[in-house]
Amino acid sequence: MNSRRKFLQKVGLSAVALQLASVKTWANGNAAPHDVYDGPVLRVAIMGLGGYGTRVAGAMQYCTKAKLVGAISGTPKKLTNWQDSFAIPAKNCYNYQTFDEVKNNPDIDAIYITTPNALHHDQALRIAKAGKHVICEKPMALNAKQGQEMVDACNKAGVKLLVGYRMHFEPKTLEVIRMRKAGDFGKIRFFQGLCGFNIGDPKQWRLNKELAGGGSLMDIGIYAINGARYMVGEDPIWVTAQETKTDPIRFKEGVDETIQFQFGFPSGAVASCLSTYTMNNLDKFFLDGDRGWAEMLPSTGYGPIKGRTHKGELTQPVTTHQTVQMDEFSEIILNGKQPIVPVDGNEAVRDLKIIDAIYLAVKTGKKVELKLV
């Protein structure tokens, strides 16, 4: 613990200030000094202490408005390690059978679910019943029905439901959105979203339909789906889709390897997207309009995000996405801040409706009409 604290204390103040500066200031390209924060702090427990949960925990060490105070896991050794690594009190640690008891713990405000997709729904309902705010990784659930039940449960309990849409706070992404809103690209005509990588361990939960709910679409494909919506600035009204499977042994029934999908929007704009588990070097967004264009490559990875438009390179600072996200979540939950792009459960349900429609289009070979609201 002492060595970790010393390391954090030695981090340059200018770097910390840059990372935690106002997201809106970044999006406008004018960085400003970061004032010392003296407001309420969101106290968070992380549920699911795997790779991504650990990444969030590390990033939260640099937060000023959110603090990691608890952990939930089915592995006792992980809980012990997290107590040592992140100074988490033993009284704030739970397993999957006991975490309902968090309702009696006033030191935890919110729980961040980073477990496999199939577990999100039931865990979110239990957290809401315990009276704690819910933060959930994406996709929020296995389908829109489950997602709506999560929204309803949180509304009934009077708690917030937020989803880990970290790109909604990323400075270069926000600059493209600002430019689109300002009319810099003119009428939007086309969006392309390519998301994929060559997945590794065949025994991992992402290739288990019971835990993942699908394959590449339920993992990396969510970025192209959500990205199409915030880049174009509209919700699609129809979808078509095609699946390609070259390795049925590795990608068993119900686990998609590669899916191409197309959207149509009310304005007449169209989108062409792809999610895959068998191709590397696919992390690209392209937006085309009558008067200009924007390209992001990489577009959604952990960083650094890079981009350019018809006006030149995007120069907004590189950030640690999870640090900024958690500070922004604190503002939303504790201060009622409205983000530039929504990150709530209703936003996630719209994505889940699109996922449902993509799978239906693959199955039927037909165009599927969409009504997201």
List the catalytic residues. 138, 223
Three-state secondary structure string covering the chain: CHHHHHHHHHCCHHHHHHHHCCHHHHHCCCCCCCCCCCCCCEEEEEECCCHHHHHHHHHHCCCCCEEEEEEECCCHHHHHHHHHHHCCCHHHEECCCCHHHHHHCCCCCEEEECCCHHHHHHHHHHHHHCCCEEEECCCCCCCHHHHHHHHHHHHHHCCCEEECCHHHHCHHHHHHHHHHHHCCCCCEEEEEEEEEEECCCCCCHHHCHHHHCCCHHHCCHHHHHHHHHHHHCCCCCEEEEEEECCCCCCCCCCCCCEEEEEEECCCCCEEEEEEECEEEEEEEEEEEECCCEEEECCCCCCCCCCEEECCEECCCCCCCHHHHHHHHHHHHHHHCCCCCCCCEHHHHHHHHHHHHHHHHHHHHCCCEECCCC
Tokens read off for 329? 């979540």
Q: Which of 304, 4, 321, 313 is nearest to 137 (CA)?
A: 321
The whole-angstrom separation of Cα 277 and Cα 65 is 36
